[in-house]
């Protein structure tokens, strides 16, 4: 399909090109001519943008023009608050792709490089210290999460007698969080990624109670990111700056993976413990792992069908 | 046509509503002092809520680990209070017991106030209250019937309307000096009865629907909610009816008190039995499903914020059930009031904080943390409770004079009015 993103094509260019084909860029330009009030009362937005945000419809109900206007509002807000030019894409799912992830826990050494790479890629609040990945230091000889150490800080890792279990959103195929949401602000995309419309979430946090993997995090205050640390390449359903009072989560780096790239955590892992790819592609590495390794899933008994596996070398 | 409807003709709907509202401005100094007190507490809560709007929910003690706390605890408790109005509705409308019929409107006023208070607790818990409209079917995306939370919104709204509608009709008839028609109100009363049970069942299911939280994921949660509601509801009603009896000349029969006290006694026995059943299942073979209970009753990894509270709740409930089980004590108003106070506080702890918070501890990944509400949370919650009391006060203030007037009318006049309508 010609509208599919190319890995070497700059994101913003891709999006504008896609919309130009639909003849929609003009509509977005008109929206930018609203008077700039710039009073903090509107949370760093103009009055026009604040009103636009308030009346913004559900992601799946918006037509391309409304989506373009929504993306423009997020970009202008980042510019106004932090002085950073960001691009908010709305890259669609690639047909014939369902993403899956596998981690080789024999290889994981507990360095937590995936954790920091994730925070930098996905623009989590630095003050709130939201992290989508939690690496558990586990006692060898069992799989009891309750005896795991979450905040391990030895001189060097790995520690004798321990192994490491990174946990993040398991992108369940029957996600209990999606069932819980009273306003359908979270759903599973055709490529298997469970996403949140951060402009539709009402912040009731029922999804957080429903998640068996503690994968969902709430913005208890406005997320603070230093301007120089902000990753400007973003996706509406992914790492674009989030507002206060909404739930957020791992999206398998939707802004990267829908362009054919690997998630930031996979790239950052120095031990090569992480395998990410298309479950529908029989030649993919992830399929090789699932077919040739003894794999297991966390809390499989709950019936959530995670698209996230663990395996060992032995 | 509309103009005619809005005209204030004597005995019309507009006349009825205006005179009811007009009653609110007439009262003694005690009434006004009470209102000022409530408004003061509400104002204080509102002031702190503004702070929460400005800074976000970070002013609460909540965290990603324990993401629901004091607000949702009060919500769960108050739904129980609302549901227990059915305990007056059944004897009044089904068995036509006159002494219960006399006070059933007050029970429904308690239900209305409790539902509004419960809903307000959910509203203040939202991270984005201004997006509330996303839940309204039609303009929003209401995730019905999949989300249990959407069920809860639906049943609570329905229950609120039913408990406004039925008393409205009955009061309107009494205002006109006639008896309400059984055929008109009975289907709605029947519906309201089942609806009352449903609101608390759905609220229990909201929690027990989550296999991710073993502490809540038990079939006993629904029955436990109903049993404990039939303790806290009557306890509150017994207190409210005594106050009404003291400050008005409204007829509150001692028989109603005895009936409510008896229901409360049995419900508290059942409720305690359920607690024992849970404790046995959790601790005879202690597995990962018991971690939350261990945290609650004994503490886990050095964290035990709720331990003193839950033991206190158990003690209060045990003491209350002892008083209630001894007939001479239960029939003595001092001891009955004491038992009501003990059980009300006991259930408030047990079904509030001691139910909601341990569900989150340990987290699904085994992390243990404590949650303690901040003073801002307590102030906001206090404001909401004051609002609930205000709603009840105003409803009672409007209803009681109409009811008294109806009672003062000679029986022939009422029969005559019924014949002409």
pLDDT bucket at B2, cuts 50 / 70 / 90 = low
> Which of A181, A211, A178, A180 is closest to A192 using CA atoms?
A178
Compute the distance between CA of residue B80 and CA of residue B117 in angstroms, rounded to an integer: 12
Mutate to test the interface with A, among B55, B136, B210, B361 (most CBs of A within 10 A): B210
Position A14 scores a pLDDT of 44
The closest CB to that of A211, out of B127, B362, B364, belongs to B364
For residue A246, what is the nearest residue in chain B, using CA coordinates? B127
**Cβ contact (<8 Å) for A205 and B128?**
no
For residue B134, what is the nearest residue in chain A, using CA coordinates? A183
Please work out, in degrees rounded to the nearest 5, the angle formed at the alpha carbon of residue B89 by the alpha carbons of B155 and B330: 115
The closest CB to that of A183, out of B58, B135, B211, belongs to B135
pLDDT bucket at B94, cuts 50 / 70 / 90 = confident
Per-residue pLDDT at B420 exceeds 70: no
Position B7 scores a pLDDT of 72
Mutate to test the interface with B, among A217, A244, A245 (most CBs of B within 10 A): A245
Touching check for A297 and chain B: CB below 8 Å?
A: no
- Residue B59 near residue B374 (C-beta atoms within 8 A): yes
Longest dimension (CA), chain A: 64
**What is the overall mean pLDDT for chain B?**
94
For residue B217, what is the nearest residue in chain A, using CA coordinates? A210
Architecture of the CATH domain B27-420: Up-down Bundle (1.20)
Position A283 scores a pLDDT of 97
Q: List chain A residues with CB under 8 Å of B359.
A: 209
Count of CB pairs separated by less than 8 Å, A with B: 145
For residue A303, what is the nearest residue in chain B, using CA coordinates? B211
pLDDT bucket at B414, cuts 50 / 70 / 90 = low
Interface of A with B in 10-39 (CB under 8 A): none
Interface of A with B in 40-99 (CB under 8 A): 54, 58, 61
User: What confidence tens digit (pLDDT) does each residue in B35-55 have?
Assistant: 999 999 999 999 999 999 999
**Cβ contact (<8 Å) for A221 and B364?**
no
Interface of B with A in 54-113 (CB under 8 A): 55-58, 60, 62-64, 67-68
pLDDT bucket at B12, cuts 50 / 70 / 90 = confident
Position A46 scores a pLDDT of 85
- Residue B172 near residue B16 (C-beta atoms within 8 A): yes
Q: Which two structure tokens, joined as six digits, stand for A156?
A: 């060097």
State the DSSP code for A155.
S
For residue B292, what is the nearest residue in chain A, using CA coordinates? A146
Integer-rounded Cα radius of gyration of chain B? 23
Position B287 scores a pLDDT of 87
Residues 6 or more apart in contact with residue B35 via CB below 8 angstroms:
B390, B393
Q: List chain A residues with CB under 8 Å of B64.
A: 130, 208, 214, 216-218
User: What confidence tens digit (pLDDT) does each residue in B178-221 have?
Assistant: 999 999 999 999 999 999 999 999 999 999 999 999 999 999 99
Mutate to test the interface with B, among A205, A300, A301 (most CBs of B within 10 A): A205
Q: How many CB atoms lie within 10 A of CB A95?
A: 10
**Cβ contact (<8 Å) for B147 and A130?**
no
Domains of chain A by start residue, with CATH = 11-89 (no CATH), 93-314 (3.30.70.20)
Q: Tokens 């079917």 — which residue?
A: B137
Compute the distance between CA of residue B387 and CA of residue B37 in angstroms, rounded to an integer: 11
Distance from CA of A143 to the nearest CA of B (A): 11
B308: helix, strand or coil: helix
Beta-bridge mates of residue B300 = B303
Touching check for A296 and chain B: CB below 8 Å?
A: no
Length of chain B: 421
Mutate to test the interface with A, among B75, B363, B371 (most CBs of A within 10 A): B363
Residues 6 or more apart in contact with residue B263 via CB below 8 angstroms:
B87, B230, B234
The closest CB to that of B365, out of A167, A205, A216, belongs to A167
Per-residue pLDDT at B11 exceeds 90: no
Distance from CA of B253 to the nearest CA of A (A): 43
- Residue B134 near residue B142 (C-beta atoms within 8 A): no
The closest CB to that of B126, out of A179, A203, A217, belongs to A203
Per-residue pLDDT at B419 exceeds 80: no
**Cβ contact (<8 Å) for B359 and A145?**
no
Cα A290 to Cα A163, A270, A310, B120: the distances in Å are 21, 22, 10, 49
Distance from CA of A110 to the nearest CA of B (A): 16
State the average pLDDT over residues B321-328: 97
**Cβ contact (<8 Å) for A245 and B126?**
yes
Which parts of chain A sit beneath pLDDT 50? 1-39
Q: List chain A residues with CB under 8 Å of B211.
A: 176, 212, 302-303
pLDDT bucket at B418, cuts 50 / 70 / 90 = low
The closest CB to that of A245, out of B67, B128, B366, belongs to B128
The closest CB to that of A214, out of B130, B131, B365, belongs to B365
**Cβ contact (<8 Å) for B56 and A221?**
yes
Distance from CA of B360 to the nearest CA of A (A): 8
Compute the distance between CA of residue B351 and CA of residue B295 in angstroms, rounded to an integer: 16
Mutate to test the interface with B, among A172, A182, A187, A205 (most CBs of B within 10 A): A182
Distance from CA of A125 to the nearest CA of B (A): 13
State the average pLDDT over residues B26-35: 94
- Residue A246 near residue B129 (C-beta atoms within 8 A): no
User: What confidence tens digit (pLDDT) does each residue in B168-180 have?
Assistant: 999 999 999 999 9
- Residue B143 near residue A182 (C-beta atoms within 8 A): yes
State the DSSP code for A162.
E
Position A25 scores a pLDDT of 40
**Cβ contact (<8 Å) for A58 and B127?**
no
Touching check for B141 and chain A: CB below 8 Å?
A: yes
Beta-bridge mates of residue A139 = A162
| Alpha helix stretches (DSSP H) within B209-358 | 221-247, 254-284, 291-297, 307-325, 327-330, 333-351, 353-356
**Cβ contact (<8 Å) for B134 and A54?**
no
Interface of B with A in 180-199 (CB under 8 A): none
**Cβ contact (<8 Å) for B149 and A204?**
yes
Interface of A with B in 148-167 (CB under 8 A): 148, 150, 167
Half-sphere exposure (Cβ direction) of B254: Cα atoms closer than 13 Å: 5
Touching check for B377 and chain A: CB below 8 Å?
A: no
């Amino acid at each position: 399909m010609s509208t599919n993103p190319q890995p070497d094509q700059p994101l913003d260019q891709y999006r504008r090109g896609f919309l130009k084909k639909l003849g929609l860029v003009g509509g977005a330009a008109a929206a930018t001519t609203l008077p700039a009030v710039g009073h903090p009362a509107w949370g760093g937005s103009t009055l026009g943008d604040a009103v636009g945000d308030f009346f913004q419809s559900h992601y799946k109900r918006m037509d391309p023009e409304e989506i373009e206007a929504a993306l423009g509002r997020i970009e202008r807000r980042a510019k106004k608050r932090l002085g950073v030019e960001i691009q908010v894409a709305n890259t669609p799912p690639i047909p014939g792709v369902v993403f899956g992830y596998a981690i080789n826990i024999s290889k994981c050494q507990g360095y937590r490089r995936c954790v920091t790479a994730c925070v930098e890629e996905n623009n989590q609040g630095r003050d709130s210290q939201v992290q989508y990945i939690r690496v558990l230091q586990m006692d060898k000889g069992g799989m009891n999460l309750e005896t795991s150490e979450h905040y391990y800080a030895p001189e060097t890792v790995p520690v004798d007698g321990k192994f490491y279990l990174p946990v993040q959103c398991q992108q369940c195929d029957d996600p209990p969080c999606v069932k819980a949401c009273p306003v359908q602000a979270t759903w599973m995309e055709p490529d298997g990624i469970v996403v949140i419309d951060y402009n539709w979430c009402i912040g009731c946090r029922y999804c957080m109670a429903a998640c068996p993997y503690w994968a969902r995090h709430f913005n208890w205050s406005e997320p603070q990111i230093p301007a120089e640390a902000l990753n400007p390449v973003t996706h509406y359903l992914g790492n674009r700056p989030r507002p206060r009072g909404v739930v957020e989560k791992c999206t398998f780096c939707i802004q990267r993976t829908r362009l054919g790239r690997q998630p930031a955590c996979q790239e950052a892992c120095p031990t090569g413990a992480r395998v990410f790819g298309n479950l529908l592609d029989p030649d993919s590495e992830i399929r090789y792992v699932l077919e040739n390794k003894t794999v297991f899933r966390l809390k499989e008994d709950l019936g959530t069908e995670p698209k996230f596996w663990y395996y060992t070398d032995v | 046509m509309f103009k005619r409807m809005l005209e204030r003709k004597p005995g019309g709907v507009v006349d009825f509503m205006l005179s009811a509202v007009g009653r609110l401005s007439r009262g003694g100094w005690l009434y006004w002092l009470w209102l000022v007190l409530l408004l003061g507490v509400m104002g204080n809560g509102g002031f702190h809520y503004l702070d929460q709007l400005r800074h976000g929910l970070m002013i609460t003690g909540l965290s990603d680990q324990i993401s629901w706390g004091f607000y949702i605890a009060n919500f769960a408790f108050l739904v129980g209070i609302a549901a227990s109005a059915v305990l007056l509705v059944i004897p009044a409308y089904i068995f036509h017991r006159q002494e219960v019929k006399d006070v059933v409107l007050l029970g429904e006023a308690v239900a209305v106030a409790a539902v509004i208070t419960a809903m307000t607790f959910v509203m203040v818990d939202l991270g984005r209250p201004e997006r509330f409209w996303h839940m309204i079917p039609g303009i929003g995306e209401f995730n019905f019937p999949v989300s249990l939370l959407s069920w809860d919104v639906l049943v609570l709204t329905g229950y609120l309307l039913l408990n406004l509608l039925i008393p409205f009709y009955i009061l309107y008839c009494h205002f006109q000096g006639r008896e309400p028609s059984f055929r008109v109100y009975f289907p709605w009363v029947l519906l309201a009865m089942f609806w009352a049970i449903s609101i608390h069942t759905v609220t229990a299911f909201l929690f027990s629907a989550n296999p991710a939280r073993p502490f809540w994921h038990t079939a006993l949660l629904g029955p436990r909610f109903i049993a404990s509601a039939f303790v806290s509801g009557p306890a509150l009603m017994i207190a409210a009816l005594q106050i009404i009896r003291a400050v008005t000349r409204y007829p509150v029969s001692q028989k109603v008190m005895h009936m409510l006290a008896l229901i409360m006694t049995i419900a508290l026995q059942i409720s305690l039995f359920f607690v024992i059943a849970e404790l046995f299942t959790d601790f005879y073979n202690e597995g990962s499903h018991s971690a939350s209970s261990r945290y609650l009753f004994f503490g886990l990894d050095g964290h035990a914020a709720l331990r003193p509270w839950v033991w206190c709740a158990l003690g209060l409930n045990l003491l209350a059930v002892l008083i209630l089980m001894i007939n001479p004590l239960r029939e003595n108003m001092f001891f009955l009031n004491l038992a009501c106070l003990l059980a009300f506080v006991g259930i408030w702890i047990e079904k509030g904080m001691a139910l909601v918070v341990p569900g989150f501890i340990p987290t699904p990944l085994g992390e243990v943390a404590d949650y303690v509400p901040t003073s801002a949370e307590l102030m906001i919650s206090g404001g909401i409770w004051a609002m609930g009391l205000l709603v009840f006060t105003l409803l009672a203030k409007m209803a009681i004079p109409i009811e008294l007037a109806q009672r003062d009318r000679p029986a022939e006049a009422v029969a005559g009015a019924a014949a002409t309508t």
